[in-house]
Amino acid sequence: MASWWCWGTTSPYAFWAGSELNEADLETRFRSGDTRALARAISLVERRDPSVRALEATLRPKGQAPGVVGFTGAPGTGKSTLVDGVVALLRKRENSVAVLATDPNSPFTGGAILGDRIRMQRHALDPKVFIRSMGARGHLGGLSLATREAIRLLWAFGFDQVVIETVGVGQSELEVAAVADTTVVVLTPNLGDGVQMIKAGILEIADIFVVNKADLDGHARVVTELRSMLSLAPKGNWKPPILATVAARQDGLEDLWEAVLAHRRHLESSGRGRQLAEQRLRDETAEVAAEIARERIRRALADDPALSARLLDTGTPYGTAEEILDRGR
Ligand SMILES: Nc1nc2c(ncn2[C@@H]2O[C@H](COP(=O)(O)OP(=O)(O)OP(=O)(O)O)[C@@H](O)[C@H]2O)c(=O)[nH]1
Ligand SMILES: [Mg+2]
């Protein structure tokens, strides 16, 4: 099937996603381990294409969920370089690994090549490594929902580990914390006025701090300031460790991964991991419900000019929304 034909037959995005698979093929090829089918499914999720709901029902994850670790921090702190090193380390340990580079301010990428993928180029030919960029500009809460669904697809596909890199702007740090089991906050010695520059909210989401670029001046100062700042934080069961790395030389990565594993053990033994997973499922269900409701209301207003006219006349969005939802499907 020529890809231009997809424009008229399936979702127009099928063309953009660079795939000429139909939905039945997609499922079969996904199951057979074809990474192009996985990439296509993630494109559907990224665009919030409703056809993915059917796919989700058939591609139920099995077995052990992959460990999900998220890296966040200001632009240029070395997140991609760290992730590249972590991928290399995991491959040495025979783990398969998927990397999602998420940017809430980018348009849908459709998997297009971003700088992050170039930085991780050395893994491009490894069939046990899957690297994918995701964006969600213009979609309300779209990125965390899309990322969660993408993680579920990666789970169904059989990946052992999922690593997420989020560009540290706006709400994205909080979004990564909402989907990852372990959140690594990456800082550097170039922190301007020091640790006070750290944005509000970031201390709370960090399970592990990495002060990268330990080869640069000012590194020790950042570590000391961070340590004293953390000593003031309320004591929880988990005390976030502060690690030094030189990602550019792959220094400190073994310790970083050991800290991730220690945090996972903590999640497991304290029962916190299970609580978080349950909470995430509840949140996700609420987000999906909102998405379905929005779609239904938009469709009802488009299909029913009388209702639309009444809404304009009465100016009662709340009542109109309830009326549409009460109608059922
Ligand atoms: N001196 C030094 N430079 C580093 C180190 N790690 C990374 N860099 C450099 O820092 C720059 C930014 O690295 P990236 O890995 O792209 O940083 P990032 O956080 O992914 O950047 P964004 O994705 O744009 O937010 C690159 O030029 C890296 O080579 C390090 O440990 N020391
Ligand atoms: Mg990056």
DSSP 251: B
Count of helix runs (H) and strand runs (E) in the chain? 15, 7
pLDDT of residue 12: 37
Tell me which residue has its CA closest to atom 29 in ligand 1.
248
What's the longest Cα–Cα distance across the chain? 68
DSSP E strand boundaries for 41-116: 67-73, 97-103
Tell me which residue has its CA closest to atom 4 in ligand 1.
248
133 lines ligand 1 (CB under 6 A): no
Which amino acid makes up residue 282? R
The C-alpha atoms of residue 216 and residue 146 are separated, in whole angstroms, by: 37
Nearest in space to 59 (alpha carbons), one of 78, 74, 73, 40: 40
pLDDT of residue 48: 79
- Given a contact cutoff of 8 angstroms between Cβ atoms, the answer to whether 257 and 86 are in contact is yes
pLDDT in tens, 133-190: 887 655 555 677 888 889 999 999 999 999 999 865 556 666 777 889 999 999 998 7
Nearest in space to 49 (alpha carbons), one of 145, 193, 182: 145
76 lines ligand 1 (CB under 6 A): yes
- Given a contact cutoff of 8 angstroms between Cβ atoms, the answer to whether 13 and 39 are in contact is no
- Residue 106's alpha-carbon distances to 57, 109, 125, in angstroms, are 29, 7, 26
| Ligand 1 geometric centre to CA of 22 (Å) | 40
DSSP 181: S
pLDDT of residue 34: 92
86 lines ligand 1 (CB under 6 A): no
Counting ligands in written order, which one lies closest to the CA of residue 187? 1
For the domain spanning 67-270, the CATH number is 3.40.50.300
Instruction: Please state the domain extents for the chain.
Output: 3-58, 67-270, 276-326
DSSP E strand boundaries for the chain: 67-73, 97-103, 129-135, 161-167, 182-187, 208-211, 242-244
For ligand 1, pick from 81, 114, 251 the residue to mutate: most ligand atoms within 8 Å of CB.
Answer: 81
Tell me which residue has its CA closest to atom 5 in ligand 1.
248
Q: Are strands 161-167 and 182-187 parallel, antiparallel or unpaired?
A: unpaired
pLDDT of residue 104: 60
- Given a contact cutoff of 8 angstroms between Cβ atoms, the answer to whether 114 and 150 are in contact is no
| Ligand 1 geometric centre to CA of 211 (Å) | 12
- Which pairs from 119-128 meet CB under 8 Å and 24+ separation? 119/80, 119/81, 119/84, 120/80, 120/83, 120/84, 120/87, 122/84, 122/88, 123/84, 123/87, 123/88, 123/91, 126/91, 127/35, 128/91, 128/95, 128/96, 128/97
pLDDT in tens, 290-319: 888 998 999 999 999 999 999 999 999 999
77 lines ligand 1 (CB under 6 A): yes
- For residues 91 and 108, the model is more confident at 91
Give the ranges where 200-316 is alpha helix by DSSP (H): 202-205, 219-232, 253-270, 272-303, 305-314
pLDDT of residue 15: 40
